[in-house]
Amino acid sequence: MPKNLFVDPKDTLAAGKITFKSIPVNAYKKTIKEERSRYSDEDLVRIYRDITVLREFESMLNQIKTQGLYNGIETTYPGPAHLSIGQEAAAVGQAYLLDQNDFSFGSHRSHSEILAKALSCIHKLSEQELMTIMEGFLGGSALRATEKLGPVSDVKELAIRFILYGTLSEIFARDTGFHKGMGGSMHAFFLPFGIYPNNAIVGGSAAIATGAALFKKINGKQGIVVCNSGDGSMARGPVWEAMNFAAMDQFNTLWENHKGGMPILYNVFNNSYGMGDQTRGETMGYDMLARIGSGVSPTQFHAERINGFNPLAVIDAMERKLKILRKGEGPVLLDTLTYRYSGHSTSDQNAYRTKEEIDAWREIDPIITYRKGLVDAGVVGDAKLDDILAETAERMTLICKAASDPQISPYVDFRKDPAVVERLMFSNQKIEKLDDREPEVNMPLAEVPAYKKLKEKERSPIVDGKPVSKMKLFNLRDALSEVIYDRFYEDPTLIAYGEDCRDWGGAFAVYRGMMDAFPHSRLFNSPIAEAAIVGTAVGYAVSGGRALVELMYADFIGCAGDEIFNQMSKWQAMSA
C-alpha cells in the first residue's frame, strides 16, 4: 500500500529463478577435548550438573505421578505432567549464553527450559543481585519458605533451592509457588530471570514471543527473545503467522527508526513426535524441519539443524545465532534434534513407538555420553560426577519434601481470603505511561492536519437551535481518534497496528491522517493474520508496553479465538 513501494510490472513479470542456500545439518563435530580451550573445566562440569538437575526434577515428577512416592516421600499430584526427560542437554545448551535480559517463552513441555534458564542466570548474577531478586519477589514469601529447608553453603546454592522450590510449589498449586499455584505446570514462569510463560496450547507461545521481540526492538531494550516449541507445533497456523510477522519486509524497507530484523530465535525441540503422531514421515511434509525458514524469508531464517543431544553443539549454534540477532539480522530458526524417553504424559502407553527405538536413543543419553566425554578428556573424574548425582538427588529430595508439606507449603485458603482471585485478576492501577522517555512523533500534536480537523468539529448535535450536519458533527470515530492521539503523545511505548491501519486509516478510518504524526514503528500495517495480531499484542503488553490492535471486523474474532479468549485473558491472574 505505501506509495513509495512502486509495484513495477517490468520487475514483477521479469524471468528468473528463485535460489536457496544450503542449510547446515549436524555440522558440529568437535570433542570435549578439542573444546577445552573454549570452556573452563568448571563450566564443562557445570553443564553436566545442570543436566542432572533437570533430569532429577522431572524423574521426581514422573515417580510421583506413577507411584505416589519419591525417595521415601509419599505424595500425590493430580495435575498434568508433560515431561521432557531426555531433552535436558538441549535446554542447558540453549540457556548457557543467555542472561536475565534475554526472554525465553516456553513450549508445551517446559520444566527443563525454565530450570536451565534459571540455572544459567544464577551462575551469571552476583550474590547481591540474587538476594535482591529473591527478597523482592512476592514480598520475599518464596524465599522465607526456601530458607526453612535448612542451612546452605552460599547464596548461589540458596538461589538454586529457591528456583527449584518455587517451581515445584507452583506445579503442586501451593501458595508458596511463584504464582501462588494459579499457573501450575503448564503456565510457570519467573520474570526476574527473563523466564516468560510456557503454554498449554501447542505453539501458543509463538505470537506472544514475537510480540516480546517487537517490544525490545521498538523500545530499544537489551537482549533477544527465544521462542521454544516442539516439532508438532509447526503444523499450526498461529506459528506460521508469527514467523511471517517477524520476517516482515517493512522492518528494513519502511521503518525510518529501529530499522533491522526482529531479535527473535524460533527454537524447535524436535523430538520427532507431536503427541503420538510422527512429524517427519507422517503428518508433515518438510522432511527436515529446518527447511521451513526458506518458505518465509529470503534469509531462510538463517536456519540450521543441530544435535540437541550434545550441549556443546547447541552452545556453538546459539553463539553464532546470537551474533546474527544482535546485529539486527533476525529472525533465526533452529531445528534442535532431541528425543523424549518419557511419554507425552504419564498415561502414555507408547503404542506409537517400539522399545527398540527408545533403547537406541537411551544408548546415547547425554547423561551417559557427555559424562564419558568429560572423563575421557581428563576434565573430571567419575568420583566427582558421582558426587554431583548424589548432591542433586539429595537437594531434590529436600525440595520435594518441603513442597509436599502443607505446613511449609500451604494451599491458598479461599475460605479465609475469598477475594484472592479478584485481586490477581485486576491490577486496580492507573498508569499514565509505561516509560518516561519522549514519545517518537513526526510533529507536535497541534500541527497534525487530521487532529486540527477533529478540533474543528461540533461536539453538540444542535447549535443555535439548528441541527449540525453529520459531516461537521464529532462522531464516535472521531472520539476514538482523539483519545488515540492523546495516548500516542503521552505513552512512548504505545504502538498501533492491524490490517490496513496506516495509509488506509483502518476499515472505519479511525487512524486516517495519523501517518503524518507517527513513524512506521508506532503505526504500521500488519499481515492479514488475526492470531498473530492479537498474540503479538499480548507479548508486547506482558513485556511492558501498550499495543492497540485492530481486527477490522468482529467477524474475524474467531480467527484469533485462542489469543483473545485464552492468552489475552489469563496472564494477569496467572502472574500473581
- What is the rounded average pLDDT for all residues in the chain? 95
Q: What is the pLDDT of residue 548?
A: 98
Return the higher-pLDDT residue of 345 and 156: 156
Question: 321, 400, 435, 390: which is closest to 28 by C-alpha?
Answer: 321
| Exposure of 487 in the CB half-sphere (CA atoms within 13 A) | 18
Domains of the chain in sequence order: 25-30+41-407 (3.40.50.970), 445-574 (3.40.50.970)
The stretch 232-237 carries a mean pLDDT of 95
Percent above pLDDT 90 for the chain: 88
**DSSP code of residue 559:** G
CA distance 245 to 238: 10
Helix (H, G, I), strand (E, B) or coil at 305: strand
98 CB-near residues (< 8 Å, 6+ apart) = 104, 117, 120, 121, 194, 226, 318
C-alpha cell at 465: 437551535
What's the pLDDT score for residue 1?
A: 61
Report the distance separating Cα 427 and Cα 540, nearest Å: 17
pLDDT of residue 576: 62
Q: CA 561 to CA 551: how far, in whole Å?
A: 12
Looking at 18-32, 205-219, 339-353, 363-377, which range is the least confident one?
339-353
Please state whether beta strands 69-70 and 73-74 pair in parallel, antiparallel, or not at all (unpaired).
antiparallel
Mean pLDDT computed over 306-310? 99
Count the alpha carbons within 13 Å of 204 in the hemisphere toward its beta carbon.
25
SS3 content of the chain, % helix, strand, coil (to 5): 45, 10, 45
Mean pLDDT, rounded, for 48-70:
97
pLDDT score of 503: 95
User: What is the pLDDT averaged over residues 516-526?
Assistant: 98
Beta bridge partners of 497: 524, 549
Q: Quick one: 450 exposed, middle or buried, by C-beta within 10 A (0-12, 13-18, 19+)?
A: middle
User: Tens digits of per-residue pLDDT, 377-413?
Assistant: 999 999 999 999 999 999 999 999 999 999 999 999 9
Q: Which three cell numbers stand for residue 229?
A: 516449541
